[in-house]
Structure 1
Amino acid sequence: MKKFLYSVCMLAMFLSATARAAITVTDDLGNTVVLQKPAQRVISLSPHVTELIYAAGAGERIVATVKYSDYPAAAKNIPRVGDNRQVDIERVIALKPDLLIVWMHGAFERQLEPLAKSGIPYFFSDPRKLDNIPETLTKMGAMFGTEKQAKLAADDFRKQVSQLSSRYQNKGNVKVFYQVWNKPLYTLNDQHIVSDVIRTCGGENIFGKLPVPAPTVNLEAVLAENPEVVLSGDSKNQPVSGIEQWKPFPSLLAVKNHNLVAIDGDELNRPGPRIIEGARAVCEALETARNNRSVYKTATAGQKP
């Protein structure tokens, strides 16, 4: 009888522990996401999400993703269910995922209702600061049960950001124009993680205060701000860098001091682990600009105005 009661108590304790084992995290929109067990079948609806899932140690659990999810190399073989404009909702549901990780944008917002009605748990990922990336990795580790690998990736990322910040953030301020695209001329405001990269490197986004996250600007506005550095987030498929359009404007300080810099857009625009490489390139570009101040000042000192 005692053995039976002991077994019943142990079973009750086990069931109680199992009931308490639900995984609860908060996504980037402040929504509470609850999973009863670690996710085994996930659909990634953004390239940066795919990179984060791999870094968190759960890449093999991605059953579908979207166009441009091309890193790491293994991601190229994952089936596609759409792109940043349109997602095949029926196919998403048919794949029976136990978790969706999505990025909020206009196109997805229109498709949110049918996904919400499907009952599939979803996590919104929209890191806007470098510190948000290790936080997201930790949350993904919890959702997938890969806490150890996710923690290693998060700790390594924090360490690298700290090193860049310590080295560059308190140096002389550099005015920066960040060019997403040149036709039309797009930039980003301070809500985007690129501005946090610029701040970490001791720079200032000249259009950071604009209210729209990805505003269009004109040539005259850029020339009026006279940035010391022009950064361009180029695509790998771009035959010619859009940054070339500034060379006919020798009065622009960035042109005068030879501070036109093209950086791989995938390493800077995507808020995933690889952004640390883009951040390093930005910090080096801004440091070069600081060094160029004295070089070009000396070179032009003897010239007549």
Structure 2
Amino acid sequence: MLNVSRRLTIIGAAVLALWQAPVVAEVCAVDDTGKEVCLEQPASRIAALSPGATELVWAAGAGEKVVAVVSFSDYPEAATNVPSVGSHTRMDLERLMELQPDLVIGWVTGNPPEQLEALADLGLPVFSIEPRTFEAVSHTIERLATLAGTEEEGFAEAERFRRGIARLERQYRNAEPVPVFYQVWDEPLMTVNDEHLIGKVITLCGGVNVFGDLDRLVPRISTEAVIGANPEAILAGGMGEENRHWLAHWETFPGIEATAKDNLFFIPPSLVQRPTPRMLDGSRLFCKKLDDARAKR
């Protein structure tokens, strides 16, 4: 039978071990639908249901935890090696469940609501995002880092983006205005209004969005409307990171000031059309293009 001293030593060691054992606390964050999502412990298997969500999870320092993506999730390069479960509008829910995610990152207006609801009904925590301001991009990274337990890396990246945008704001605060048309799609012809994050890039760089007052976030317009607005600069993405063919259409309208002054500029679409930290690079390029237009006055 153990003596009292020996017994107290064992009990003390056991208590010390319990005290030193890592305590995993519940993590919670409120998504962009206003829903609070709580996990018993930081996520370890994440499904990202849009290319932008994939980039944001990587930006939050949790890329190694991503087990499922959707088509066109091509950045960073490591994301191309992650299993795809379809497109953002048509997911293979059975395949997604096989990958056993413990957190799903949804896209508020991009993923079909019925599919997100089906995932929630199956017991998966769904955190829906749609950042529409520069600050919201940083805040989204911070929330994802909280849910993934990667706060150190995620919060640092969020602050890097925040400070980079602030520098551009200071640089272009008093820039001469440039009337701008941004083409987000060709058939049907589509642009953005001032409430869209791309619209905020235009404003950031001292541009004036010629369709900024339209009600819809991504309104359909006509070629005649663009001619009538007569922008001084036209910027377009295109289908692909190096595909400038959308600009060729505007080259056939020499009466537009942007065409007459050769202010038809290509912007790689993923740099401004995904609400991710790469928007800082896209904004710098966008601002440079408007500087080129100013230099031609």
TM-score (structure 2 length as normaliser): 0.90
1:175 aligns with 2:186: no
Instruction: Give me the whole-angstrom Cα distance separating, in 2, the residues matched to 1:41 and 1:276.
Output: 28
Question: In the alignment, what sits opposite 1:273?
Answer: 277
Instruction: Give me the whole-angstrom Cα distance separating, in 2, the residues matched to 1:263 and 1:72.
Output: 19
Offset, 1:208:
2.0
Instruction: Give me the whole-angstrom Cα distance separating, in 2, the residues matched to 1:240 and 1:149.
Output: 36
SS of the residue aligned with 2:91?
coil
1:111 aligns with 2:115: yes
Q: Which amino acid aligns with 1:288?
A: D
Instruction: Give me the whole-angstrom Cα distance separating, in 2, the residues matched to 1:287 and 1:173.
Output: 10
1:192 aligns with 2:196: yes
Which deviates more from structure 2 when the two are superposed, residues 30-39 or residues 64-73?
Answer: 30-39
- Consecutive unaligned residues in structure 1, runs of 5 or more: 294-305
Query: Conserved in 1, the CA contact under 8 Å of 2:33 and 2:108?
Result: no
- Cα–Cα, structure 1 residues 240 and 149, in superposed 2: closer, same or farther, change >3 Å? closer
Instruction: Give me the whole-angstrom Cα distance separating, in 2, the residues matched to 1:57 and 1:96.
Output: 20
1:209 aligns with 2:191: no
Offset, 1:75:
0.6
Q: Structure 2 residue aligned with 1:70, among 56, 74, 82? A: 74
Runs of 4+ that moved beyond 3 A: 3-15, 237-240
Which deviates more from structure 2 when the two are superposed, residues 262-271 or residues 170-179?
Answer: 170-179
SS of the residue aligned with 2:134?
coil
Offset, 1:11:
10
Instruction: Give me the whole-angstrom Cα distance separating, in 2, the residues matched to 1:199 and 1:174.
Output: 10
Query: Conserved in 2, the CA contact under 8 Å of 1:241 and 1:262?
Result: no
Instruction: Give me the whole-angstrom Cα distance separating, in 1, the residues matched to 2:97 and 2:144.
Output: 21
Offset, 1:10:
8.9
Offset, 1:179:
0.3
Instruction: Give me the whole-angstrom Cα distance separating, in 2, the residues matched to 1:53 and 1:176.
Output: 32
- Consecutive unaligned residues in structure 2, runs of 5 or more: none
1:98 aligns with 2:120: no
Question: In the alignment, what sits opposite 1:242?
Answer: 246
Question: In the alignment, what sits opposite 1:123?
Answer: 127
Which deviates more from structure 2 when the two are superposed, residues 140-149 or residues 106-115?
Answer: 106-115
Instruction: Give me the whole-angstrom Cα distance separating, in 2, the residues matched to 1:107 and 1:25.
Output: 20
Q: Which amino acid aligns with 2:254?
A: P
Question: In the alignment, what sits opposite 2:60?
Answer: 56
Instruction: Give me the whole-angstrom Cα distance separating, in 1, the residues matched to 2:262 and 2:101.
Output: 50
Question: In the alignment, what sits opposite 2:39?
Answer: 35
Query: Conserved in 1, the CA contact under 8 Å of 2:192 and 2:217?
Result: yes
**Matched ranges for 1:285-304 at <5 A:** 285-293=289-297
Q: Structure 2 residue aligned with 1:220, among 224, 230, 250? A: 224
Instruction: Give me the whole-angstrom Cα distance separating, in 2, the residues matched to 1:97 and 1:164.
Output: 38
SS of the residue aligned with 1:185?
coil
Q: Which amino acid aligns with 1:123?
A: F
Identity within the alignment, %: 39
SS of the residue aligned with 1:186?
coil
Q: Structure 1 residue aligned with 2:162, among 158, 163, 166? A: 158
Which deviates more from structure 2 when the two are superposed, residues 234-243 or residues 163-172?
Answer: 234-243
Query: Conserved in 2, the CA contact under 8 Å of 1:235 and 1:264?
Result: no
Instruction: Give me the whole-angstrom Cα distance separating, in 2, the residues matched to 1:170 and 1:261.
Output: 22
Q: Which amino acid aligns with 2:234?
A: V
Instruction: Give me the whole-angstrom Cα distance separating, in 2, the residues matched to 1:239 and 1:142.
Output: 37
Instruction: Give me the whole-angstrom Cα distance separating, in 1, the residues matched to 2:281 and 2:218.
Output: 22
SS of the residue aligned with 1:182?
coil
